[in-house]
Structure 1
């Protein structure tokens, strides 16, 4: 376990069914991709996805070494998605230490809103 992974947090697998507004979340970052925002009462919120969740797997496929675009494509691919996540509210300093020792860009992280069709 790395220093960036909170020891009190456990992995959760959440099934999110897309609704008329989409999945209702915005993702940010690469390797790993994190949940930046969750629309209140949206599909992801109702399923238990939280802002700050780190996405470990999408539909059972490990994505901690996947870039942002790959993760977005995997999520957008169907009417529902299984997300395995771990929540961290830990503030990552500009030293760029990321989840499981992966370096993260401090200010240039890509983002994508996963809503609509």
Structure 2
């Protein structure tokens, strides 16, 4: 099992056997941080081959002779991302804004009395 992003990247290798990081990013329009995590996972599982450490100019090749000891591979593992931090930041900002609105409403009510 693979994620949609992983499948998208793997399907690119039906067109060509060697892609650069930049070409994959241009074709898929995936953010570079997320793409780096996805490619690292595929490289770790040896589905893809990269001669040097993964950078923006790295050439990535499909492992044509890939053989797994397992009958079924599950590559669809969750990625660590900054989205959770961003989400927490947005929630805090929304709570602060709501508190200010409530306080302003209370002040208006108190002034009317």
Is this a same-fold pair by TM over 0.5?
Answer: no
TM-score, normalised with respect to structure 2: 0.29
Which one has the largest radius of gyration? 2
Q: TM-score, normalised by structure 1?
A: 0.29
Higher relative contact order (CA 8 A, sep 6+): 1
Q: Structure 1 or 2: larger strand share?
A: 1
